[in-house]
């Protein structure tokens, strides 16, 4: 399993465990979607806390190894799995809280943004943001929509163009997270906040969440196949493959 799951009083705590940086591999994405579906269907669960089992990193985002040197069918399968996780998280009937206990760039930030509330550990190394442009990649429209819904149009435009990664104080100021707390209080704060959200009658809260988020989800659902084709076409370009290979090579050298 690429994550750990513990349960207490109707709350599931899901910890990403895909060392070293919790990259969103096809396997991890598939396992998460299946587990979330099971929790949704089990009416005893009303809330999920998403966090990391890997020191210093929440999730580094998309697994570039799934996007480099593979065939178009694999790219399509991978992107469909990324879409599926976002769709499953963004309009989940459960209360989702991100307990961000490490760096959260790109896809890691996206997962955080799908949650109802975000708690970030106060550590200057734990930056969060959609930094795709720094890798020569363009964030898809539904990544953009999720960020705009959270921090507003102008702040999102600036953040996306510059590929900004916000340290805790700035992340709180711009509204990409809701609370910054000392590192050893992230889990307890997430549980405390969860109590406040679960105090609201489920039916009213779920309908309100759906009203706020469904138009964003509908945009992707209507264009899902076209979005997959765009991704496959983009990632298959020689220039993109070359830049991904260079980046992966740099990561290998860093580890070495």
Instruction: State yes or no: is 62 an active-site residue.
Output: yes
Please identify which of the residues 61, 132, 147, 165 carries the catalytic annotation. Answer: 132
How many whole angstroms separate alpha carbon 36 and alpha carbon 245?
33
Please identify which of the residues 107, 108, 129, 163 carries the catalytic annotation. Answer: 107
b/e per residue 19-58 (b: at least 16 CB within 10 A): eebbbbbbebbebbbebbeebeeeeebbbbbbbbbbeebb
Radius of gyration of the chain (CA): 17
b/e per residue 213-244 (b: at least 16 CB within 10 A): beebbeebeeebeebbeebbeebeeeebeeeb
Please identify which of the residues 24, 36, 62, 89 carries the catalytic annotation. Answer: 62
Instruction: State yes or no: is 107 an active-site residue.
Output: yes
Pair 5, 49: CB distance under 8 Å = no
How many whole angstroms separate alpha carbon 121 and alpha carbon 100?
6
How many whole angstroms separate alpha carbon 54 and alpha carbon 100?
11
Instruction: State yes or no: is 77 an active-site residue.
Output: no
Instruction: State yes or no: is 170 an active-site residue.
Output: no
Pair 222, 84: CB distance under 8 Å = no
Please identify which of the residues 130, 131, 147, 160 carries the catalytic annotation. Answer: 131
Residues taking part in catalysis: 62, 107, 131-132
């Amino acid at each position: 399993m690429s994550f750990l799951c513990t349960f207490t009083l109707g709350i599931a705590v899901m910890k990403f465990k895909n060392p070293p940086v919790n990259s969103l591999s096809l396997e991890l994405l598939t396992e998460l979607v299946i587990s979330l579906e099971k929790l949704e269907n089990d009416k005893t669960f009303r809330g999920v806390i998403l966090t990391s089992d890997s020191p210093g990193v929440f999730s580094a985002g998309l697994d570039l190894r799934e996007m480099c040197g593979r065939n178009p069918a694999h790219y399509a399968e991978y992107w469909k799995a990324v879409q599926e996780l976002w769709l499953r998280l963004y309009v989940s009937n459960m209360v989702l809280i991100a307990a961000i206990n490490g760096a959260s760039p790109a896809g890691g930030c996206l997962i955080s943004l799908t949650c109802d509330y975000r708690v970030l550990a106060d550590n200057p190394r734990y930056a969060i943001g959609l930094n795709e442009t720094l890798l020569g990649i363009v964030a898809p429209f539904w990544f953009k929509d999720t960020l705009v819904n959270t921090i507003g149009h102008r702040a999102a435009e600036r953040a996306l163009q510059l590929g900004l990664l916000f340290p805790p104080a700035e992340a709180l100021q711009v509204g990409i997270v809701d609370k910054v707390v000392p590192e050893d209080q992230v889990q307890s704060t997430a549980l405390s906040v969860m109590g406040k959200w679960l105090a609201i009658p489920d039916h009213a809260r779920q309908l309100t969440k759906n009203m706020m988020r469904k138009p964003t989800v509908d945009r992707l659902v209507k264009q899902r196949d076209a979005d997959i084709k765009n991704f496959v076409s983009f990632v298959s370009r020689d220039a993109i493959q070359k830049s991904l290979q260079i980046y992966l090579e740099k990561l290998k050298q860093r580890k070495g």
